[in-house]
Amino acid sequence: MGDGAAAPLAGPLTHRRLLKIALPIVLSNATVPILGAVDTGVVGQMGQAVPIGAVGIGAIILSAVYWVFGFLRMGTTGFAAQAHGAGQMGEVSALLTRALMVGLAAGVAVIALQSLVFSGAFALSPATPEVEEMAREYMRIRIWSAPALISLYGVTGWLIALERTRAVLVIQLVMNSLNIVLDLWFVLGLGWGVEGVALATFIAEWSGLALGLWLCRDAWANPAWRDWPRIFDRARLVQMARVNSDILLRSLMLQAVFVSFLFIGADFGDVTLAANQVLLQFLEITAYALDGFAFGAETLVGQAMGARNRAALRRGALLSSGWGLGIGVALALGFWVFGGAVIDLMTTAPEVRAEARLFLSFMVFAPLLGGPSWMLDGIFIGATRSRDMRNMMALSFVVYVLAVWALVGPFGNHGLWMAFLISFVARGVTLAWRYPALEAQAAS
């Protein structure tokens, strides 16, 4: 079955076009902490510590499980952007079907393996029997929305590829708003407790998928969405599996850096561990701010790669990276001027405040040193150069391990932060080293 009419060109690569892609993602990211705060606040009205801990640990466990499938968002964006840039609108529709099939299958697998997932999680992070039992009740309900949430990764990636990030923002706002309203009704109105919080999230996530499918309705107008020979084409499936597995391995290594950072920091005592946790929120703010422009790079670079337009690829990479640099400088200045006040907002413990201030300078440098790696990630995702991402992450991980070995002993937690930032620099430098090959691919 043919691809149908070619996609119209989206227009020149301007600052306005990039901002139309990036800003809705930044706003969407800003809504994420609000939902967590409401969940905690609602169960906090029950007047007991156990429900708060149960919802917290249950949400963390499920987030960690779903995080594994983040490759579906990134891989879908790269492939769909390239197909769109090449004018292959039939393939764009078929890609959405493939992504949904992977998401639904992954969600069903998570449901089937829930007993193993829960047991393994509590073996690694034990809680009191009361908290564990209540957390299990929470997760037994929420786990049934796994197919919806994982499929939404594919839907989100597809929408980003087509520069429809306003739709992504709408999905996030509707999901979170519905979740908050149902939280209040189920918990405070009906007295359903932790089960009410879980049920609210379950309904919101399935509603989010339904809304996402409706916002992608133009894909269903192209008969290629159900062109099964195309959808199950062996070469395309193998390529999809290769890219997604590379991204998964890269992400696991990146997560290993963060987890080891926390574990090593714990050896310096509870105060230092708490201070590190507070300072990591500065990195989260940085990621939220830069994500929109990294996603813009994914879209613009992917479309240029599909069109085999080297000049457009370079323009897209430079445009998004320029904005990323500007945001990084602004964040660095903001952390320098207001970092102490932010720390005071995050904790009232005097000893934690004092300890966090000792390492605040690392947060000033983090957006500048880490920004290039975030932007290059977006560029390489758009080009689906996943092998480079995997290999350069492996090199960066080795650099991080060596830096920890060399610096933590003599410099303690200062050395740990140095090693952490060095890992970002290593990822940026190694990906920049591979960039000329990426650009050359667009001209081949």
> How far apart, in Å, do the first and last CA atoms of the chain sit?
27
Two structure tokens written together for 327: 């945001």
- On whether both 323 and 215 belong to a single domain, the answer is no
Residues across the chain: 444
- On whether both 79 and 25 belong to a single domain, the answer is yes
- On whether both 272 and 158 belong to a single domain, the answer is no
- On whether both 72 and 111 belong to a single domain, the answer is yes
What is the rounded distance in angstroms from the CA atom of residue 93 to the CA atom of residue 224?
A: 6
What is the rounded distance in angstroms from the CA atom of residue 174 to the CA atom of residue 35?
A: 12
What is the per-residue pLDDT for 322? 96
Give the least confident one: 6-10, 201-205, 315-319, 374-378.
6-10
The identity of residue 7, as a single letter, is A
Q: Could you list the residue range(s) of the whole structural domain that residue 139 is in?
A: 17-232
Give domain status of residue 107, yes or no: yes
Residue that finishes a domain, picked among 198, 232, 266: 232
- On whether both 226 and 260 belong to a single domain, the answer is no
Residue that finishes a domain, picked among 204, 232, 260: 232
Give domain status of residue 389, yes or no: yes
φ/ψ (deg, to 5) at 19: -65, -35
- On whether both 325 and 396 belong to a single domain, the answer is yes
| 312-368 pLDDT per residue, tens | 999 999 999 999 999 999 999 999 999 999 888 877 888 888 999 999 999 999 999
- On whether both 187 and 291 belong to a single domain, the answer is no
- On whether both 297 and 194 belong to a single domain, the answer is no
Query: Do 68 and 248 contact (CB within 8 A), yes or no?
Result: yes
- On whether both 227 and 251 belong to a single domain, the answer is no
| 89-111 pLDDT per residue, tens | 999 999 999 999 999 999 999 99
What is the rounded distance in angstroms from the CA atom of residue 135 to the CA atom of residue 58?
A: 5
Give the least confident one: 30-39, 73-82, 259-268.
30-39
The total number of structural domains in the chain stands at 2
At residue 47 the predicted structure's pLDDT band, cuts being 50, 70 and 90, is low
What is the rounded distance in angstroms from the CA atom of residue 345 to the CA atom of residue 222?
A: 51
- On whether both 308 and 201 belong to a single domain, the answer is no
- On whether both 290 and 314 belong to a single domain, the answer is yes
| 132-159 pLDDT per residue, tens | 888 889 999 999 999 999 999 999 999 9
- For residue 6, is pLDDT > 70? no
Give domain status of residue 6, yes or no: no
What is the rounded distance in angstroms from the CA atom of residue 309 to the CA atom of residue 278?
A: 44
Give domain status of residue 406, yes or no: yes
Burial of 45 (0-12, 13-18, 19+ CB in 10 A): exposed
> Closest Cα partner for 82 from 375, 307, 342?
307
Distances (CA, A) of 307 to 85, 231, 383, 439: 5, 22, 11, 13
> Closest Cα partner for 342 from 363, 366, 368, 327?
363
At residue 10 the predicted structure's pLDDT band, cuts being 50, 70 and 90, is low
Residue that finishes a domain, picked among 207, 232, 257: 232
What is the rounded distance in angstroms from the CA atom of residue 154 to the CA atom of residue 40?
A: 28
Question: Across residues 216-223, what is the average pLDDT?
Answer: 93
- On whether both 323 and 210 belong to a single domain, the answer is no
Cα 73–chain centre separation = 8
